[in-house]
Chain A
C-alpha cells in the first residue's frame, strides 16, 4: 500500500502543502516500511490549466492508493476517483505527523471535492 501526501519540501519532516494540483512536492510513502519517494511537482505548479488533473494522474501512475492533501477540487477528485485513489482532505502539520495520523486510523475519506473548481468546470 502507498500513501501520497502533498508537501512543501522533499522530506518526511517537511510541512504539508494544503494545495493539491500545485503542491511543490508529493511524498509517496509505504506506511508499513516508511520508505518514501519525493516526487517533484514543479511542472504542475506552473501548469497553465488542469494542474489538479495532471497531479492526480501522476499520483495514480505512481500507484498510490490514498491521497492526503489540504484541498481537492472537482476535476482532480473525479480523476482520482476514476483511478481508484481515495482522498483525505484538510491535512495540517508535517508529512510525518500526517502519516502517523493515517497509521493510527485517524483518516476520514472524502466522498466529494471540498473546494470549488476554477475555470475548468461545467458545460
Chain B
C-alpha cells in the first residue's frame, strides 16, 4: 500500500504526520515492513526527524540531446518539434540548450539521419539510508534544476520494495505534487484551519479527485482559526481522520527535531488508529 501525504499549502505538517506515522507503526505489529520516501525534492526534511545517519547517494540524470554535426543535414525537424526551444539552428549548425530540455526525445525520433545522440543532465540525487530498520529514500534536486518530476519518479522506484510506502509529498498542486500522488492508494491531506490552509486544501482536493484516489484529512493546529475547514470537509464528504491541537510542547519538540510521539507517547496509538482507518478505506475500495 502506498500512502501519499500531501497538503496544498506548505508548512501545514506533512512531514510531522509522515514521521509520527512511521514512528507509531514501528514495532506495532500492524505492518511488517514499510519504507519512507521524501518526495519534497526541493526541500527534503524528513531526515531531520528520522535521521538515517549514513546515506548512499545515487545520482539521477535525464536525457538531453547532443548533435553529431557531421550527420546533421540542417533539415531543422528537431528544432521544429521542440516546444521548449532547447534546440535552434543558426549558421548551418544546431545549437543545444540542455537546461531547457524536458527529455521528451522528440528530436531523436524525428531525425532521419541519426544525428541526435544521447547526453545527460544531472537532476539531483537520491539519498538512501535506514532508520530503525526501515529504508528511507530522499530526493534532493540539483541547485538550479527546474524539473523535479523525473527525480520524484526515481525516488518512487523504491516503493515496490516494501509492503507499505509512506510518501512525504511536496506542497502545492502542480506537476511535482501530481508526480508524488499519482498511483498512490490513499492521499492523506494535511491542512490547518486558516484561510490559506482552506484555500489550498480545496485546490488539493480537486487535484486528488482528478486522479481518482481516495483521500482523508488531518487538521493540524486544529484549535486555531475557525471552523471553515471542518465545514468544508463535511460538505465535500472528506473524512477528518485526525485533529492535532496547537500545543507548545509539540512545537518545542519539532524545533529539536523530535516528533509528537516522542514527547507524548499516547499519540502513538492515535497514529496507529489513523493507519488502521486508512487501510480500511483502501481495502473497502479494492473489494
Write the chain B residue with the least CB distance to A21: B85
B binding-site residues for A, Cβ under 8 Å? 64, 83-86, 88-91, 93, 95, 97-100, 121-122, 144-146
Given contacts A82-B93, A123-B121, contact A47 B99 (CB under 8 A): no
* Contacts A/B (CB < 8 Å), 14 sampled: A50-B85, A53-B88, A53-B95, A56-B90, A57-B89, A79-B88, A79-B90, A82-B91, A120-B99, A120-B100, A121-B144, A123-B99, A123-B121, A123-B145
Q: Does A7 lie at the interface of the complex (its beta carbon under 8 Å from any beta carbon of B)?
A: no
Asked whether, in the complex, the Cβ of A54 is within 8 Å of the Cβ of B90, the reply is no
Bound CA span A57–B85, Å: 10
Q: Does A101 lie at the interface of the complex (its beta carbon under 8 Å from any beta carbon of B)?
A: no
| A to B contact number (C-beta, < 8 Å) | 57
CB distance from A76 to the nearest CB of B (A): 10
Bound CA span A84–B91, Å: 8
Residues of B close to A83: CB separation below 8 A: 90-91
A binding-site residues for B, Cβ under 8 Å? 47-51, 53-54, 56-57, 60-61, 75, 78-79, 82-84, 119-123
Residues of B close to A60: CB separation below 8 A: 90-91
Q: Is the interface of B mostly helix, strand, loop or mixed?
A: mixed
Given contacts A47-B85, A53-B85, contact A123 B122 (CB under 8 A): yes
* Cβ-closest 4 pairs across A and B: A50-B85, A83-B90, A122-B144, A120-B100
Asked whether, in the complex, the Cβ of A49 is within 8 Å of the Cβ of B85, the reply is yes
Q: Which of B64, B85, B86, B100 has the most CB of A within 10 A?
A: B85
Selected contact of A123 from candidates B83, B90, B91, B98, CB within 8 Å: B98
Bound CA span A100–B145, Å: 43
Bound CA span A56–B90, Å: 9
Asked whether, in the complex, the Cβ of A48 is within 8 Å of the Cβ of B146, the reply is no
Asked whether, in the complex, the Cβ of B90 is within 8 Å of the Cβ of A75, the reply is no
Residues of A close to B88: CB separation below 8 A: 53-54, 56-57, 79
Residues of A close to B146: CB separation below 8 A: 119
Asked whether, in the complex, the Cβ of B99 is within 8 Å of the Cβ of A122, the reply is yes
Bound CA span A10–B122, Å: 43
Bound CA span A49–B87, Å: 12
CB distance from B108 to the nearest CB of A (A): 18
Residues of A close to B145: CB separation below 8 A: 123
CB distance from A77 to the nearest CB of B (A): 12
Bound CA span A87–B64, Å: 29
Residues of A close to B122: CB separation below 8 A: 123
Asked whether, in the complex, the Cβ of B97 is within 8 Å of the Cβ of A120, the reply is yes
Bound CA span A123–B96, Å: 12
Write the chain A residue with the least CB distance to B144: A122
Write the chain A residue with the least CB distance to B83: A48
Q: Which of B89, B95, B97, B146 has the most CB of A within 10 A?
A: B97
CB distance from B94 to the nearest CB of A (A): 10
Write the chain B residue with the least CB distance to A51: B85
Asked whether, in the complex, the Cβ of A82 is within 8 Å of the Cβ of B90, the reply is yes
Bound CA span A50–B95, Å: 13
With A49-B84, A53-B85 given, name 13 new contacts (CB 8 A): A50-B84, A51-B85, A56-B88, A57-B90, A60-B90, A61-B90, A79-B88, A82-B90, A82-B93, A83-B91, A121-B144, A123-B98, A123-B121
Write the chain A residue with the least CB distance to B98: A123
